[in-house]
A and B are shown apart, each in its own frame.
Chain A
C-alpha cells in the first residue's frame, strides 16, 4: 500500500480539532478573571500610579502561569478537584479552614462583581435598584436550570469589548520606551495606599476562586496524561492572554487619566480612558464590557464556590439535583448570589472603592490557598513522579513569601501610622 495522503490529512485534522477541544478552561478562567474587580483595579493602578506598577504585573503573570500549571497537573494526574484533594490530605479541620478562606474571598469577589453590574448599567442610566435584582434573578435561574452553558458565550462576547483597550493603546501612542522600561524596573512605595493597591493587583490576578474553578474544569474534561502537554499550553496561553488585557488597561488609563490627573474613582471616569478611541461611545463600549465580564463572574464564582465546598464535605452537589436533594449546594449558591446582590443595594454606596476592597481581601487570602496547593503537589502519594520540580517550587514559594511579606508590611505601616 502506498502513502495515503487522504488518511494523513484526516489524521492531522483530527489531531488539531482534538487539541482545540482540550484548550479552553485556561482561557475561560483568566477571561472571567478580567471581571469588574480586575478592570477597576487595573484602571485605578494606571490612573493613580501610571506605568510604575507594570513590573508587578509581569511578575504576577509569571507566578499565575506557574500556579495554574500546577492546577492543570493535579487535575490530570489525580482526576480530583482541589477541594477533594485538600479534604483527603488534610482532614476536616484544615478543610474547614481552607473553605472558610475560599468562601470569604469568593463572597467578596462576587460582591465586587454585582457592584460591577450596578456600575456598568448606571452608565446607561439604569438604577441599581432595578438592574441588580433582575440580574441576580436571571443568573439564579440560568445557573440552577443548567442552561447557563448556553448563555455563557454571550457574556463572553460582551467582554471582548475590552479588546478596545488594545486598539486604544495603539491610537493614543503612549511613550513606549517608558512603558517598556517600567516593566523591567521594580519600584515600590512604602505607603499603605500603594501596598493595598498592589495586594489588590495580586488578588485579581491570582484570585483564589480561579484555582478551584480551573482545576474542576480540567477534571471535567477527563483528560489523560498524554493530553497534559496540550492542557499545559492552554493554561500558559490563558495566563498570557489575561496579562495582555490587564497590561493594556493599565497602559491606556496611565496614558490618558494619569496624564490628565483624573482619578479613577467612578466608572464614568474610568470609561473616559476610551474616549480617544470611541469618542462619545466610550461609555457604551466600557459599560458593555464591564457588564458582560461582571455577569460572567457573578455566575461562575457562586457556582464554583458551592461545588468546591460541597465536594469537600461530601455533600450532594450539582445543578442536576433538585434543591431538596442538594440543600447545602443550593443554599450556598443562592445565598451568595442573594446576599451579595442585596448588599450592593445599600444606598449611597461608593461602588468603585467597594470593588477595589474586595480584590484586596482576595489578595490577602491568596497565600493560604497557594500553601495548600504547594503541599499537595509535592506529595508523592498523590502526584507520583509528577511532583513539582525545583524551579516550580522556588517560584511558587517565592510568590507566597512575597505576598505574605507585602501584607505584613502593610499591617506594620498601618500600625506605625497609628502611632505617628
Chain B
C-alpha cells in the first residue's frame, strides 16, 4: 500500500473507514470544506454508520491505495477528535459535487463531475474540479473500461480538469446559494462572456451571481443579456439596487427593458430613479414598438451654431463619450432645431477660430429620421446613405436623439432570434 497524497473525491466517497484495529467504523459520507480560503481546505469528514452520523477531523485519517488505485481509509490514532459541525457548512457531496460552476479560463458553465483533492502543507485541499468524460466514467465505476478502450484505439484517456484558481463556485451551504465572495474571480471576464455565462446558469444562480456584481459591472452585463433574462434579474433585485443599476445604463436600453415589464413595477422603479433619468425614460416609453423613437439614444453631442470651433474642442475634451457619440457632433440653433452635422475629422481639420456654422458643408444634404418613422425606414436610410448614425428629429425639426446601425442590428437580431 502506498500513502496517498492526492486522489479524486469519488474514489473515497462512500468507502469504509477502518479503525486502528481494522474494524469498520462506518462509511465516508461526505466532506466538510471551508470554501472561504483561496484553496478550500477539508476540515472534517462525515462518517455514517447505519443511521448514526458523526464528524471526525480530516487530520485523523490516513489514506492509502494499492497499485490498482483502490483506496483504504484508516484512522491514525486511538484518540479521535469528534467535532460538532453546523448543518450550514459546505458539504462537498451535498452542496458542490454535480452542481454548476463557472470555468473562468474556458468561460463556460460546467458541471462538477469530480473533485481533485491533494495534500498541501499537511492540509487536504481542493486543487481542481473534474468536468470531463473520464470523470463521469469514474463516477459510474467504469473508468478502467474507458482506459482499456482508449489504449486499444491508441489514444490517451485524459482527465479534463479546471484548476481551482479558475473555478468560480456558485453553490455554498444549505438552502442559501452564495458566491464565494472572498475569491470573486468573475471580474477578470469580459462583459460579453460574463453575460453568456449568466444566461447558461439556472435562474437562482443567475440572480445570486448578478446581485453580487458591483453596480457598474452589473449595468454593463445587463445591456448584453437577452430581454427575458433582463427582466428576471431586475425583478429579483431590490428597488434601490435595481434603480442604481438602471441609472448607469443608456435610457433607450432601460426603456426597452421596462417596456416588457408590468406597469405597476415600472412606475415603482421610475419613481425611485433620479428625476433626469426617469423623465427621459418616460418619454421613450411613450413611443410605439418598432418606431425609431423607441430605440433611439438620447445621449448625443449637440452644440449651438454660434460657438467657435476651439470652444467646442475644449468642451469635447472634458465630455464623456460612448462609441455612438464619438463620430459626429450636431449643430443646432437656439430652438434646438438641427442645422447641420459635423464629423470629428472635419472639426479637427477646421480653423479653430471659425464659427462652427461656417464649418458645416454648405452642400450638405441633411439626412435625418423622424421619431415616429419605422425601424425598417431607419435601416433603409442607414444603408442608402452609408452612415453609422442618423439624427432623430421630432416634427418641429428639433433634435431629440440619434440612432445607430448598432441599435438597429440589435433590434433585428432579436427578431431573428440571433440574440
Contacts and interface: CB of A to CB of B under 8 A. Distances in A.
B110 A222 contact: no
Given A14-B263, A78-B204, A313-B111, A222 B139 contact: no
A91 B139 contact: yes
Contacts of A10: 263
Contacts of A18: 262
Interface stretch (B40-48, B76-84, B216-224, B229-237): B229-237
A152 to B, nearest CB: 14
A233 B223 CA distance: 34
B193 interface: no
B247 interface: no
Interface string B90-109: 00010001110000000000
B335 interface: no
Contacts of B262: 14, 18
Nearest to A87: B98
Nearest to A226: B235
Interface residues of B, number: 28
A146 interface: yes
Nearest to B231: A222
Contact of B110 (A11, A146, A224, A314): A314
A219 interface: yes
Given A79-B202, A222-B203, A222-B229, A87 B140 contact: no
Interface in B173-202: 174-175, 202
B203 A79 contact: yes
A384 B98 contact: no
Interface in B114-147: 131, 136, 139-141
A381 interface: yes
B243 interface: no
A79 B174 CA distance: 17
A222 B97 CA distance: 25
Specify which of B98, B228, B229 lies most central, judged by the most chain A CB atoms within 10 Å of its CB. Answer: B98
Interface size class of A (residues with CB under 8 A): 20 to 34
Given A314-B110, A314-B113, A88 B99 contact: yes
Contacts of A96: 140
Contact of A92 (B113, B203, B229, B235): B113
A313 B417 contact: no
A384 B177 CA distance: 13
A340 B174 CA distance: 44
Contact of A224 (B174, B175, B232): B232
A122 interface: no
Specify which of A91, A96, A314 lies most central, judged by the most chain B CB atoms within 10 Å of its CB. Answer: A314
Nearest to A79: B203
A96 B141 CA distance: 12
Interface in A15-49: 18
Contact of A84 (B113, B140, B202): B202
B271 to A, nearest CB: 15
A307 B134 CA distance: 21
Contacts of A91: 93, 97-98, 139
B113 A79 contact: no
Interface in A71-129: 78-80, 84, 87-88, 91-93, 96
Interface in A350-406: 381, 384
B153 to A, nearest CB: 17
Contact of A381 (B131, B175, B203, B231): B175
A88 B235 contact: no
A222 B111 contact: no
Nearest to B14: A91
Contacts of B231: 222
A11 B204 CA distance: 29
Contact of B139 (A79, A84, A88, A93): A93
Interface string A289-330: 000000000000000000000000110000000000000000
A225 B236 CA distance: 11
A18 B265 CA distance: 14
Nearest to B97: A91
Contacts of B228: 222
Specify which of A78, A91, A219 lies most central, judged by the most chain B CB atoms within 10 Å of its CB. Answer: A91
A10 B202 CA distance: 33
Contacts of A219: 202-203
Contacts of A146: 417
Interface string B146-176: 0000000000000000000000000000110
Nearest to B93: A91
A255 B97 CA distance: 57
Contacts of B235: 224
B111 A314 contact: yes
A224 B113 CA distance: 30
A219 B200 CA distance: 12
A314 B139 CA distance: 14
B110 A93 contact: no
8 contacts: A10-B263, A11-B263, A78-B202, A87-B98, A91-B97, A91-B98, A224-B236, A314-B111
Interface of A: 10-11, 14, 18, 78-80, 84, 87-88, 91-93, 96, 146, 219, 222, 224, 313-314, 381, 384
Given A88-B98, A93-B139, A313-B111, 16 more contacts: A10-B263, A11-B263, A78-B203, A79-B204, A87-B98, A88-B99, A91-B97, A91-B139, A92-B98, A92-B113, A92-B139, A92-B140, A219-B202, A219-B203, A222-B231, A224-B232
User: Closest 6 interchain pairs by CB?
Assistant: A79-B203, A314-B111, A92-B139, A79-B202, A80-B202, A222-B232
